[in-house]
Amino acid sequence: MKRLWNDLSYFLKNKIYMAVVCLTALFSYGFAMTHPSIGIDDTCIGLYFEEGLAPAVGRWVLYLINKIISLDMFLPWMTEVVAVAIFVLSVTLWCVLFRRLSKREISIWGYAIFASLFLSCPLISEVFVFYLHNGICLAYGLTALSILAMLDALEEGRVRYLLIASVLLTIALGCYESFMIVYLVGLLMAFMVVRIGGERVKRCVLFYVPATVLVAVVFRAVIVRVLQWMFGFAIPEDFTVTARGVVDTLTGNGMDLAMVLKRFWVMYYLNGFCYLPITVWVISIVAMIAYAIFKTIRKRDVFIGLAAIFIPIAPLAIVLIEGLPTHYRASQYVPLVGAFVAFLIFYEIAVVGRDKLRRVLSGVAIVLGLVLLWNQSADMNKWFYVDYLKYEDTKQVMAQIAYDLEKEHDTSKPIIFKGAYMVPYEIAKDAYLPFYSPKYQIMKRIADAVDPHLLEKYNAEDGRGYVFAETPVASTFRWGVTAFDGTPRELQAFWNMHGYDFKIEKDLEIIDGAYDVLDQIPPYPQAGYIYETEENIIIHVSNQ
């Protein structure tokens, strides 16, 4: 513990490191911290923490923390500030990890650029807008600590360190199951750095790693079962959500494997033409593999190249288990890979023999790193602004509906929502790539060689272009109409959070029956979009 504190202090007491990382945190997350929005997940806090849906699907850590400190309410600003502070500490733990692995004296600027690029990756905006950010800020640090404990187990050969590694990984998986991939990718990076440094890795790692993973998976399953026994929560039978664990998803969802892999390729490689975090990911993968091949030839160590190749392969594990391409909000390995390549650049600069050349190369690397850092922070701000505009639009529409209901209808009747209100194009246009753009034409030519209809699956429903981002176009309205159990319970919760109190229809047969008259009801905001019957009120909310 003392060693860990000393390693952390090296960074936390360094003015250059803290200045760069804290400014990055401010630039990247300042808007989100000061402009709270209510969207998907924010309306169902009680469902997650009071009724226990979060631990029922395997995400039990925040549920237990809520037993100590209050998280079961909407806490704008507070949760964002605390999360960013934890995130800064987490990326610093990754710096500690790579500093221990490196036998070279790397510039503090190298670690600052690594941590800042990690912190500011715009793909994080896809998950950060969800309530409590799915615990990723905490889980990143826990994963780094787990790998550090694994290294201690290898160095000292003590089983207790292996157990600590498993416990830490268990907690990380209890935040978000996607951190199994982060753990595997982190281990591959650690192995790669060790081999580049000319050191051997003990053969017992072939036992330690699978043992740690297996124990963590079992621990997680046991913890969920124990908590279910203690608190009596379960996933309601009428809910569409499922448990998020390896054992629970091994059967997949029956989707065609070839199509899953093709869609994964589009999302995580082809979208590099238009989506900045994927652009950085693709360039990083190419640069890392090229660097590893060079080191493999020079050091005659094939394991360096294999480690680099398996880093982009590792994410396919969760794809094969779930039977669907991983959502961007669950791709926590992407920020780590981009930052790692920046670390490798400074890692190599550190051994340049000539002082003057080393200073020049370091200066160039710092400038390029800061340029990328600026662009990532700017992109992050853009997506947080889009999320805020989405919230303002939803709030305005719901307020207008409430006004029209109270003015002209009997609000004692239960309400049925029908239709698909999408995020307006004017708000989400930055997530669209026009069909006439040169980038799309290049992507289309490449994709057509694989499958002529592949890119069509990502075309916007309104026909305005190709959609390359996910969360920015995710409509709170569309989700809230049927979320969880097929009823508009989450739209009712949204209203409640803004001071309105309306009843909703909970009988699914009656809700489904509303389709019979939907063609007769014009969509919002046209006159007559609210249709009142003797038993209920049907609201047609659609902008398609």
329-344 core/surface letters (b: 16 or more CB in 10 A; e: else): bbbbbbbbbbbbbbbb
Cβ neighbours of residue 421 closer than 8 Å, sequence gap 6 or more? 397, 475, 477, 478, 524, 541, 542, 543
- For residue 154, give the amino acid letter: L
Cβ neighbours of residue 231 closer than 8 Å, sequence gap 6 or more? 52, 55
The first and second tokens of residue 240, run together, are 């569409």
Identify whether the C-beta of residue 109 lies closer than 8 Å to the C-beta of residue 342: no
The 10s digit of each residue's pLDDT in 259-268 is 999 999 999 9
Average pLDDT, the chain: 91
Residue 413: which of 495, 540, 523, 531 has the closest Cα?
A: 531
Q: Coil, helix or strand for 514?
A: coil
- Asked whether residue 382 carries a pLDDT value surpassing 50, the answer given is yes
- The pLDDT of residue 246: 52
Measured between alpha carbons, how far is 115 from 139 in angstroms, rounded to an integer? 16
Mean pLDDT of 61-74: 91
- The pLDDT of residue 234: 85
CA distances from 323 to 246, 255, 265, 271 (A): 12, 6, 14, 21
Torsions phi, psi for 13 (to 5 deg): -95, 0
CA distances from 173 to 60, 138, 245 (A): 9, 11, 9
The 10s digit of each residue's pLDDT in 394-425 is 999 999 999 999 998 999 999 999 988 999 99
Decide: residue 307, CB within 10 A, 0-12 exposed, 13-18 middle, 19+ buried. Answer: buried
The radius of gyration computed from the CA coordinates of the chain, to the nearest angstrom, equals 25
pTM value? 0.94
The 10s digit of each residue's pLDDT in 153-175 is 888 877 889 999 999 999 999 99
- Using pLDDT thresholds of 50, 70 and 90, give the confidence band for residue 515: confident
Mean pLDDT of 439-455: 95
- Using pLDDT thresholds of 50, 70 and 90, give the confidence band for residue 60: very high
Measured between alpha carbons, how far is 63 from 449 in angstroms, rounded to an integer? 47
Mean pLDDT of 350-357: 85
The 10s digit of each residue's pLDDT in 174-233 is 999 999 999 999 999 999 999 998 787 777 787 888 999 999 999 999 999 999 999 988
**Look-up of token digits 């000061």:** 34
CA 5 to the chain's CA centroid: 29
Identify whether the C-beta of residue 469 lies closer than 8 Å to the C-beta of residue 275: yes
- The pLDDT of residue 250: 47
DSSP secondary-structure letter at 38? Answer: -
Mean pLDDT of 436-456: 95
- Using pLDDT thresholds of 50, 70 and 90, give the confidence band for residue 459: very high
- Asked whether residue 40 carries a pLDDT value surpassing 70, the answer given is yes
Look at strands 432-433 and 415-418 and give their pairing. unpaired
Identify whether the C-beta of residue 428 lies closer than 8 Å to the C-beta of residue 417: no
- Using pLDDT thresholds of 50, 70 and 90, give the confidence band for residue 243: low
- The pLDDT of residue 542: 87
DSSP secondary-structure letter at 475? Answer: -
- Asked whether residue 375 carries a pLDDT value surpassing 90, the answer given is yes
- For residue 382, give the amino acid letter: K
- Asked whether residue 483 carries a pLDDT value surpassing 90, the answer given is no
- The pLDDT of residue 227: 93
The first and second tokens of residue 59, run together, are 């995400």
Strand spans (E) along 119-160: none
Q: Which residues pair with 93 in a beta bridge?
A: none
Cβ neighbours of residue 201 closer than 8 Å, sequence gap 6 or more? 154, 191, 194, 195
Identify whether the C-beta of residue 198 lies closer than 8 Å to the C-beta of residue 299: yes
> Which stretch of 126-140, 198-212, 260-274, 340-354 has the lowest confidence by average pLDDT?
198-212
pLDDT greater at residue 140 or residue 157: 140
